[in-house]
Amino acid sequence: MQIMNTALDQESKQVLWACLESVRQQPEALGNHELCYRWIVGRYKAKFGEAFHQVKLGQLADQGFLKRSDTTRGGNRRYYEIANPSMLTASLRQWNLN
């Protein structure tokens, strides 16, 4: 999936940082590296001091940074995956969020 050329606000960049850090903390045995708001928000809050609204994940999916994953198995949870982890890693370096 191609990431769209979109100007991101600081909060979006920080959410993407939290997403990538959450993936890095998952055991390799899981393989699929799915994310949901509940798993990301704690890491985000610890680093940046406050929570973000979960709608931000859907917006980042609409912009191509995340992709929607299976939503049925978790009931009311929405799951996402990072669309292009290596490109996101490079972007985070540019944004000084590595």
The reported pLDDT for the residue numbered 11 is 95
| Mean pLDDT value across the chain | 84
Give, as one character, the DSSP assignment of residue 67. Answer: E
Q: Which among 98, 83, 79 has a CA at the least distance from the CA of 6? A: 83
The structural domains of the chain, with segments of one domain joined by +, span 11-94
pLDDT in tens, 8-33: 899 999 999 999 999 888 766 455 67
pLDDT in tens, 31-41: 567 889 998 99
Which of the four CATH numbers 2.40.30.60, 3.40.50.2300, 1.10.8.80, 1.10.10.10 does domain 11-94 have? Answer: 1.10.10.10
d(CA 21, CA 55): 19
Residue type at position 93: R
d(CA 34, CA 26): 9
Q: Which among 12, 21, 15, 17 has a CA at the least distance from the CA of 37? A: 15
